[in-house]
Chains A and B, each alone.
Chain A
Amino acid sequence: MTVLVNDIPNIEELENTFSQHGIVRIEHFLQQDSAEALSVYLSSTVDFDNAFHLEGSNRQASDKEISELQAENRKQLYQAIYQDAAKGSGFLYGRNKITTQSSVPLSNVLSLMNNESVISIIKQITNKLTLTQADAQATRFRVGDFLTRHIDDVSGETRQIAYVLGLSPFWHPDWGGLLQFFEKNGTPTKAWSPLFNSLTLFDVSQVHSVTSIAPFAGKSRYSITGWYRN
């Protein structure tokens, strides 16, 4: 399965939006069949590890490990995760780190995000001329998953631009899972409901969160995310 991008007709407009807000969304990023095939692959074939924050450290557990917990222990685990979340820290979502060794559609996405012409477009839109490479992970937010408010600008890291390639068709904003941006003081600025085949780019200094997925969401929220680095 090859993964191909569409031409982007409105690069200048995107450039202006990014320079004003530090956030921009490119619609119809992949060619339609690539996006559809990738979306089906993510929801049917990929295994995810559940990443979460517990008692001060980041952990992960497979779906199997979590489902094998005794009901009482599973409940305690979620309660402990929620206790941190109530105070504004932590996360719970599924992820699958993509490497050149990953299965074909995923490793193809990684090469695509690192393709010279794609990097050159990202550089132009964000005016970050020193970007050289991207990493990637597939993510899945199920009912009850969330990512509390944070910034991606981790010291000692070379992250410059975060990206989210939305791969959930027909998402409804009522279901949650918004990519929500904030001013430093917590005032919400921009919120994006998952849009199929859109690539959202934002500066790593932007405060953001993914809002909780409502129990009545019709499906899980899938995307490919990562960072462009120097």
Chain B
Amino acid sequence: MNLTLAKQKNKKQLAKQFQEKGFVRVSNALSKSTLKAIHDFIFNQEQWNLAFNLQGKHQDLNNLEVEGWPDNKKQELKQIVFQQASDGFQYLYEAIPIYDIFHNDLLPGHFFNDIVRFLNTRATLDFFREILNAPDITFMDAQITRFSAGHFLNTHNDDVNDKNRIAALVFNLTEHWRADWGGALHLLDEQQQIKQSFLPSFNEINIFKVPLDHYVGYVSPFATGKRLSITCWLRSGKNPMVK
């Protein structure tokens, strides 16, 4: 099927907001059939990487394997993750690196590839070039993420050397979420105070200019839903994954 963004009537308004504030929210982002196809696919996905950080190095575990661990081993993992979270950068959430999967051709014919292609069509990139006033955008990398009770992503600014990231995007695909469950995307100002919060939502894109300190708030232990999104970066220059 042909994946598309929904038509936006107020692109000038969105561009103005982004220019003024450095962030913007786009509602009704994906066309109806695209939203359903992508959402349902991600919602039903069973295998994920459980991602966290260990002394500066990214770690991935197979979520299904971890679920099968005995309680004491799960507890031990939590302790390791939390220890680093108290006073430094840490995260705990589930992810699927669809950009890497696509470019390394790891799952030929899989729907993940269609999502990456859709994010990089001329129509999609042009939309973001226009509202961000960034004609130098050349491609978008992406991962799918899922946050449930106990997950979080501590403050960081997305500024990674040589990645030429212009802005970060979150395609929100969470159909039912309660404010009390946490998991909001918080953008910080220079005093480390929160200047904007975006709760998980359905079919909205949150966009912000990088580098900018931000974090995903701890998801309350009583949250019963899952926060689903595609997290992307709009980048300039040559795509290093394209030979």
Q: Write the residues of chain A forming the contact surface with B, with a CB cutoff of 8 angstroms.
A: 82-83, 85-88, 144, 146, 148-149, 172-176, 178, 180, 182, 186-188, 190-193, 195, 209, 211-218
Contacts and interface: CB of A to CB of B under 8 A. Distances in A.
Contacts of A87: 178
A186 B87 contact: no
* Chain B contact patch, size range: 20 to 34
A83 B90 contact: no
B10 interface: no
A87 B224 CA distance: 9
Interface in B148-200: 150, 152, 154-155, 178-182, 184, 186, 188, 192-194, 197-199
B52 to A, nearest CB: 12
Contacts, number: 93
B180 A146 contact: yes
B190 to A, nearest CB: 13
Contact of A85 (B186, B217, B218, B222): B222
Given A146-B180, A173-B192, A211-B217, A180 B85 contact: no
Where chain A touches its partner, the secondary structure class is mixed
Contact of A176 (B83, B87, B182): B182
A186 B155 contact: no
Given A82-B222, A191-B186, A174 B215 contact: yes
Interface of B: 78, 81-83, 85-87, 90, 150, 152, 154-155, 178-182, 184, 186, 188, 192-194, 197-199, 215, 217-218, 220-224
Nearest to A209: B180
